Amino acid sequence: MKIRSLFISTLLLAGLLPAAAQSVKLTAGNIDAVLKAMTLEEKARLLVGERQTKVPGAAGATAAIPRLGIPQTILSDGPAGLRINPTRKDDAQTYYTTAFPVGSLMAATWNVELAEQTGKAMGNEVLQYGCDVLLAPGLNIHRSPLCGRNFEYYSEDPLLAGKMAAYTVRGIQSNGVGTSVKHFAVNSQETERTSVNEVVSKRTLRELYLRNFEIAVREGHPWTVMSSYNRLNGPFTQENRQLLTTLLREEWGFDGIVMTDWTGTRNTVAQVHAGNDLMEPGNNEQVTQIVEAVKAGTLAMEDVDICVKRILQYIVKTPAFRGYKYSNRPDLEAHARLVRESAPEGMVLLKNENATLPMQGVKTVALFGAQSYATLACGLGSGCVNIAAAVSLARGLSNAGINHTADLSDLYKMGRDFDDAHNKMLQESNWDRAAGRTQYPELAISRYLADEQAKKSDLAIITIAHEAGEGWDRPIEGWRGFNLTADELDMIKNVTEAYHAAGKKVVVVINSGSVMETASWKARPDAILMAWQPGGEAGNAIADVLTGKANPSGKLPMTWPIDVMDHPSSMNFPTRKGTNDEVSLHEEGLKVGYRYFDTARKEVSYPFGYGLSYTTFAYSKPQVKAAKNGFTATVTVKNTGKVAGKESVQLYVSAPKGKLEKPAKELRAFAKTRRLAPGESQTLSFTVSSYGLASFDEAANRWIADAGQYAVLFGANVEDIRCQAAFTLKKAYTQQVNDILQPDQEL
């Protein structure tokens, strides 16, 4: 103690520490005083992340400065739940967390309250495991079905993505921990993600790729935003002051911190000047660069102070600062129950001919497809939660009292030890150990065993599972591709032919985080369920839907095209076709997802917003009332079927003809009913502001909603408009904004 104060007095005498340094300890009320007391070196340290050992497996941390009472804070992935190491060296305790459904499933629920509730449970695990910020949600726009991280993200539509993110943020942060909405912005591909220049028009940016973040920031108030790896219209997003300061803070009012994605050293001075407060994961070189740049006058102390102050404002909100006594024991059982209850709300029933589902009188099923026995909870990369194993579909069905044929399950298990297997069937398969994941002998199994299995079981279930992940985009072909492999297509053919010949039915369950090709094979099975990657309770939740314990109410948050090349973006995804120039030109502009398919009347396999139910709904009494700023609308939804269920209603608006060309219709609001009993009705309400109706006129740098009549369309999906009303905007609405983010290349 004595030695320490002697040391500080020596420094004070030498003029090396600011005068107030001696006694100041950070409190919520003395941030300015602490800032004043900090040395340049300390300030630089705070802007750069540091390694941490407090929570093994957490992605990063902010630096501790004990002298000033500044604790280290812990940042941890990710969007589907807390990603930390479940076991620790020399420690008998386990630290498992809950794998919640992936983002695309959550978006398919169209249920913002459920997103909030899920966020609340995730945030509780963040708090109870000693972390301060969850690096989530991810809300980049699904520009192409091929983006490897689409499973983490929500939708091709910015309103749906923005609202889901805002409510998830609110839920997580209700625990007194933070979020980091990511990746800001236009990180819609993984190929060359740390170098690619996304070139996007100002209008497309404002209406599509930034609108989602705008909603999340304005309505969710996240503590932090994560700037992306990529460049945008020239500079890296992390170095772009127009993006991080002019837009994010001055226009949208963001008052938290911006941290980089997990980048090495870039132009540190430009990052600080841009308003990128925190460099993650951080290294000493960056600290030195900040110190030297300030000394050399190439970085203003004022820029540094602004960032430091924001970090201090963040720190005083954290559990680490509050000294929160975390338990390391969140209620995992309660969270598993939530996952099981909520996942069916996002599962999408794509086809259900002759009421195949829910299964009736089925005692034994045959489970084809390797992932029937090893169901995928989530995608790969930082969005994957470290659980022991998800409940498999086989296990979920057993739990529900449905048997599966043992000989088939034994065969799939044997596929894992192919070296020991010797029969003709396995030799004929395309099983490929080199591919890194076991490729099971689907073709051979279905060819040789389908007839026999059809005799032994009442129904067949085929699981199709293609995995995607961080750092790579999905190929079109192959076992991770958008298209099904030839073996999978043959399996569907063989199994459906055998079962139909025996007068029995076949269900396909898709266990993938994003959209798949369906047009070429969807006529064959009797029912198709898009189960996504539904988290740790996967098999139980799927079984609940198959048995009718739960009625699926998910609707697609993205268009399912016939061919992936039908998307205009495919011409330039991931880079300009035929080139490798690390530039991704968004020549398609707003022609992304349904904004293209619906406007061009291009046929799709399943439209945006599509999803069946075990019951039916009728819409009536569409009403629109002008409000002070925009309009409010209502529609009444009645359950006209025989079982209870929920229905989400999408409110699309068709704008009057004006100067700007516009999509035929755009999603402007949505709502979901509570669980309605047969015969029960509910009136849903929607609010749309004039700003929410506006398009971006890039020549004038302003938002504009033309005066005139707007058709207000209440849809079960984008192609199925059930009823409509109209709204008249008497006077054009305009809002002038900054002229920023100009593309650096011609589009």
Q: Which residues lie near ligand BGC (CB under 6 A)?
A: 59, 77-78, 135, 182, 261-262, 382
Task: For Cα atoms 730, 733, 738, give the angle at the middle one, nearest 5 degrees.
Answer: 170
Check the CA dihedral 438-444-450-456 and report its sign: negative
Query: Around Cβ 168, how many Cβ atoms within 10 Å?
Result: 34
Work out the end-to-end distance of the chain between its first and last CA atoms, rounded to an integer number of angstroms.
Answer: 65
Which one-letter DSSP state was computed for residue 249?
I
CA of 473: how far to CAs of 108, 386, 585, in Å? 22, 22, 17
d(CA 79, CA 383) in angstroms, rounded, equals: 6
User: Do residues 461 and 453 lie in contact, with contact meaning Cβ atoms separated by under 8 Å?
Assistant: no
Token pair of 398 as six digits:
């057993």
Report the nearest approach of ligand BGC to the CB of residue 111 (Å).
24
Report the nearest approach of ligand BGC to the CB of residue 82 (Å).
12
CA of 632: how far to CAs of 673, 709, 728, in Å? 17, 15, 12
Closer Cβ to ligand BGC, 75 or 443, answer by number? 75
Q: Which residue has the tokens 């150990």?
A: 433
Report the nearest approach of ligand BGC to the CB of residue 439 (Å).
27
Closer Cβ to ligand BGC, 173 or 382, answer by number? 382
125 phi/psi in degrees, rounded to 5: -70, -35
**Which SS3 state, helix, strand or coil, does residue 404 take?**
strand
Closer Cβ to ligand BGC, 262 or 521, answer by number? 262
d(CA 434, CA 432) in angstroms, rounded, equals: 5
Report the nearest approach of ligand BGC to the CB of residue 382 (Å).
4
Closer Cβ to ligand BGC, 47 or 443, answer by number? 47
d(CA 712, CA 723) in angstroms, rounded, equals: 9
Check the CA dihedral 434-440-443-449 and report its sign: positive
> Side chain identity at 26, as an amino acid letter?
L
Closer Cβ to ligand BGC, 281 or 534, answer by number? 281
Phi-psi map region of 192: left, alpha, beta (phi>0 left; psi -120 to 50 alpha): left
Instruction: Cite the active site residues.
Output: 261
Report the nearest approach of ligand BGC to the CB of residue 59 (Å).
4
Closer Cβ to ligand BGC, 182 or 668, answer by number? 182
**Which SS3 state, helix, strand or coil, does residue 512 take?**
coil
Closer Cβ to ligand BGC, 116 or 470, answer by number? 470
Report the nearest approach of ligand BGC to the CB of residue 228 (Å).
8
Token pair of 307 as six digits:
């960032």
User: Strands of 403-404's sheet, edge to edge?
Assistant: 348-352, 527-530, 505-510, 459-464, 364-368, 403-404
Report the nearest approach of ligand BGC to the CB of residue 268 (Å).
19
Report the nearest approach of ligand BGC to the CB of residue 222 (Å).
14
Query: Around Cβ 646, how many Cβ atoms within 10 Å?
Result: 24
Closer Cβ to ligand BGC, 253 or 264, answer by number? 264
